[in-house]
A = this chain, B = another copy of it.
Amino acid sequence: MTRVLSRQDVDFLLYDWLGVDRLAEREHYAEHDRETFDATLDLAEKIAEDVFAPINQVLDAQEPRMGSDGKVEQPEELAKALRVYADSGLTASSFSHDHGGAQLPYVVRAAASTFLGAGSVGAYAYPALSLGNASLLVAHGTTEQVAKYAVPQIESRWFGTMCLSEPDAGSSLGDLTTTAVPQDDGTYRLTGSKMWISGGDHELTDNIVHLVLARTPGAPAGVKGISLFVVPKFLVGDDGSLGERNDVALVGLNHKMGYRGTTNTLLSFGSGAHEPGGRPGAVGELVGELGRGLTVMFHMMNEARIGVGAGAVALGYNGYLRALDYARTRTQGRPLAQRDPATAPVPIIDHPDVRRMLLTQKAYVEGGLALILYCARLVDEAATGDTAEARGTASGLLDLLTPVAKSWPSQWCLKANDLAIQVHGGYGYTRDFTVEQLYRDNRLNPIHEGTHGIQALDLLGRKVPQREGADLGELAARIGDTVARGKALGGATAEHSTALAATLDQLLETTQGLLLGGDVEAALANASYYLEAFGHLVVAWLWVEQEIAAHGREGSFFEGKRGAAHYFLTYELPLVESWLGILRTGDRTTVDLDPTAL
């Protein structure tokens, strides 16, 4: 059996570092204890390794096809695996008791999700999307909508989607043109095209619940004219029974480089392919208030973006473990000191450059996992913190860190996948090994749920200055606290803490310069470098945190933590200085260069 993620690492981060077991002391989680957390992780780990991982390559090799009947064809292994998942009750576990759930802390669920994504990101996307869909309905839908559309998803009987993008409106949602016209019975009829809809059609469940952004007649231009609608594939009776086919049609499947287990679709709403109630138009119900569609949708955005980051970590981690196994068993060449060709070749892990590639992967994927779980812990704190102040602080810090949680793993855990291929040499370039698939799968993550460039603008243009910099101040205070604790420990940890503190000071100084310097246009044009610098600093901080949590503990696991922390602080942190240096130049090349010169 292949490990897809290190349980020891997950346990270390959840319990030794984040003290997640103490969440059970809170009233909201009173039915839980470490045992129930562990049982959830055990279940997720088992499904990831025994059910999802074995079909992962099949899902890639047999990408979804549209049959002659217009239905999606996928390997039958997928439906079977997802039934095992559905029976596990894992989706429900995150929801409140009121909705049939186990009220599990978000951070435990996030760890479980990372396992499941590491097993097969393509298979897990269906329930993951449905979890987000149902959570949104629970937060913003009416009681009837929750019963009709959320509960079947909570029970994993149906899957759901998020329909935001259109062929000409992806990053700029304000330009979407799908319309929703109110009907006498209080419903709406939707017409328009939606692009990039993951899980947009399939035969895996009896129904599909689409959450669709659309514009009502006379609504203002831009984002303020957008509302949210729930549009099922099959209409649903008040008793939950399935009725007529709604006017939602599969126009085409996107043929992707990776992530092929998940159908990705162009959907047509209201094209007349079906005629519910005897006439064209996709029947939908308004969710929340008119004109608040994007706000409602973005209410879930922090969690959705952490979810993307978690998926990127999962893929990177899986690749790292495979590269590690390969490097331990594959023999080739000899160390410098032993060049005699008569001696036996050594496992390639004995070559320092291979060890460098493994250590780099380790630093990226374990750093990425720490980032995801830290942010997930903030989600719980924002929801159940002891005081309003604690909840507000956590919420603000989560806002600030979300673009990092989305983009840093999408960039650096993809880089880890790149290195996993490299460790495998020519074999890594073939489909006989999984690492090339992981690399292709992970390439999606810097694109969806807000591209890298969008995250950079979000961080520098919105999150850093928001609340007069209070969230950045909170982050700086927490890093400062870590630095103080790290320095007190002496040795390498103190040295790493000193380097971290110096880089933090540089970042804060550069940030001041950017925000107060007056040339907002140039600052934002270079926002991607800010995101790089900020992300690496945050992960460096979390590596010092891990080093502190590992302090004084013996054994190879903890030696590994110290080694990776040392690597990150020594080899990676200095890059921050380069990126900040670029920002300090205030260079306007990318603003001023005439596009015809490109």
Chain B residues with CB below 8 A from A426, complex form:
165, 170, 195-196, 254, 447-448
How far does the alpha carbon of A436 sit from the alpha carbon of B258 in the complex, in Å?
A: 10
Given known pairs A353-B457, A425-B170, A589-B359, the reply for A597 and B560 (CB within 8 Å) is yes
Q: Mark A518-551, 1 if CB is under 8 A from B, else 0.
A: 0011001111110000000000000000000000
B582 near A570 (CB under 8 angstroms)? Answer: yes
Q: Assuming the A-B contacts A567-B589, A578-B575, are A521 and B336 also in contact, with contact meaning beta carbons closer than 8 angstroms in the complex?
A: yes
**Chain B residues closer than 8 Å to A582, beta-carbon distance:** 570-571, 574
Q: Evaluate contact between B453 and A354: CB separation under 8 angstroms.
A: yes
Query: Complex formed: what's the CA distance from A249 to B451 in Å?
Result: 48
Distance in angstroms between the alpha carbons of A353 and B460 in the assembled complex: 13
User: In the assembled complex, which residues on chain B have CB atoms less than 8 Å from the CB atom of A520?
Assistant: 336
Q: Decide if A345 is an interface residue (CB 8 Å cutoff).
A: yes
Cross-chain contact A172 with B563 (CB below 8 angstroms) = no
Q: How far is the CA of A567 from the CA of B526 in the complex (A)?
A: 12
B597 near A570 with CB under 8 A, answer: no
| New A-B contacts (10) at CB < 8 Å, excluding given A257-B429, A429-B444, A570-B589 | A170-B332, A172-B333, A256-B429, A351-B453, A355-B598, A563-B598, A566-B589, A570-B585, A571-B582, A575-B575
A112 to chain B, nearest CB (A): 25
* Total copies of this chain within the assembly: 2
A422 touches B446 (CB 8 A): yes
Interface residues of A, count at CB 8 A: 99
Contact B443 A597, beta carbon cutoff 8 Å: no
The answer to whether A352 and B524 touch across the interface, beta carbons within 8 angstroms, is yes
Q: A570-B582, A597-B556 are in contact. Are A590 and B359 (CB under 8 A)?
A: yes
30 contacts between A and B (CB under 8 A): A168-B332, A169-B332, A172-B345, A222-B341, A223-B341, A255-B430, A255-B432, A257-B429, A336-B520, A336-B521, A349-B598, A352-B525, A353-B457, A355-B590, A355-B593, A355-B598, A356-B525, A356-B526, A356-B528, A358-B598, A359-B593, A362-B598, A418-B443, A425-B447, A428-B447, A557-B597, A559-B593, A559-B594, A566-B589, A571-B587
CB under 8 Å from chain B, chain A span 188-227: 195-196, 221-223
Shortest C-beta distance, A163 to chain B (Å), equals 14
Closest to A571 in B: B582
A448 to B426, CA, bound (A): 7
Footprint of B on A, CB under 8 Å? 165, 168-172, 174-175, 195-196, 221-223, 254-258, 324, 328, 331-334, 336-337, 341-342, 345, 347, 349-359, 362, 418, 421-422, 425-426, 428-432, 436, 439-440, 443-444, 446-448, 451-453, 456-457, 520-521, 524-529, 556-557, 559-560, 563, 566-567, 570-571, 574-575, 577-578, 581-582, 585, 587, 589-591, 593-598
Chain B residues within an 8 Å CB radius of A418: 443
A528 CB contact (under 8 Å) in B169, B353, B430, B581: B353
CA distance A422 to B172 in the complex (A): 15
Residues A331 and B168 in contact in the complex (CB < 8 Å), given A349-B598, A353-B457, A432-B255 = yes
Q: Which residues of B contact A597 (CB under 8 A)?
A: 556-557, 559-560, 563
B residues less than 8 Å from A566 (CB atoms): 589
Contacts of A342 in B (CB 8 A): 221-222
Query: Least Cβ distance of A226 to chain B in Å?
Result: 11
Q: Which residues of B contact A336 (CB under 8 A)?
A: 520-521, 524
Q: A169-B332, A172-B345, A174-B341 are in contact. Are A570 and B587 (CB under 8 A)?
A: yes
Report the bound CA distance from A431 to B521 in whole Å. 35
